[in-house]
A and B are shown apart, each in its own frame.
Chain A
Amino acid sequence: MSALVATRKLSKSVAQGPSRLWLLRDIDLAIDAGDFVSISGPSGAGKSTLLHILGMHDHDWEGAYELDGHDVRSMSQKQRADLQRRTIGFVFQSYHLIDDLTVAENLDVPLRYRDIPKSERQSLVADSLDRFRIVGKKDLYPSQLSGGQQQLVGIARAVIAGPKLILADEPTGNLHSEQAREIMELFRELNRAGATIVQVTHSEENARFGNRHVRLHDGWLIQ
């Protein structure tokens, strides 16, 4: 496996009475650096489950998973956490900005966890505010922003530490179509600038923004 992301026979199940309920079955997936992959499928297909496994939020699975050349399965919890910090940025469907922090402070959160000196963090936050054109909103709290603006901040937060891989879980799920299109355009720009993106989406239209489209059904990868 030389891709940025590679899984082989990746499966996940949970106990259901005397048997098991399979959420993912034998997923073989390779994502190269620079790809923009859209994962779609009906509810309960296992899209978000797969994304959280790729994002190393979930460690209870079977099979093989290699990220940026590292065998995730054989890593300790600390090593996985280090790899996650170095490699991944995550965008949530519900934005998940921290209510008590301003926009600038929200952007600062991932940097704080990467032991970056304060002056450098301030500079990165300023750059990010500028890049995403939200300088005027830096002192506002999330509750003072529209849904689209909140997701913009969510994306800015996901990319601020320069991850190799951006994972987005239904990033436009709570936005109206105009805002959704703007966000998807932003993802395309980021991809063109070199970011590898994996998004989970229900929307065929949004899925078309990617250069690859994979579908899941009842935990199986069908395309």
Chain B
Amino acid sequence: MQAEKILFIIFAVVALASALNILLQRSPLYGALSLIGTLLALSALYMTLRAQFIAAVQIVVYAGAIMVLFIFVIMLLNVPKDQPQIEKQKGLRYLAIPFAGLLIAEMFFVLRPIRLNTLPPISSGNAEQAVGTTWSIGTALFTDYLLPFEVTSVLILMAVVGAMVLARREGD
């Protein structure tokens, strides 16, 4: 078995185990820390797919900025653990698990005929312009995808203003 498959299996197991740990933990703080583990493992998988820029952004933006915001809010609110006494429709809720099995079976049935086994070879000479480098992402982002980029900046501005309005105390 090649080194690449071993690396994939290690990071896939880390990602799945920390994702399952989110479901097993009662405290949201430990759930958030497990999600950071999943995000770091996914970032390593992006490196194996030659998506270096996305791997770096995953760590900086997701594991860095977004998860820090989550942990900040969890600590600010001093969130109580899941209280088991107020359980409504308990049996109905656990129907989710058989349906999850069904969803998995369906997805693997769809994935079965896929026979694509190798990444495309890197063309020699312009390795720094290959797909996934900062050069290729930046060039595409500021030429073909300029409109989505600008719309994103408007969206971020709206989110900042909206978050301030929503989290403000009444009467301030």
Do A and B interact? no
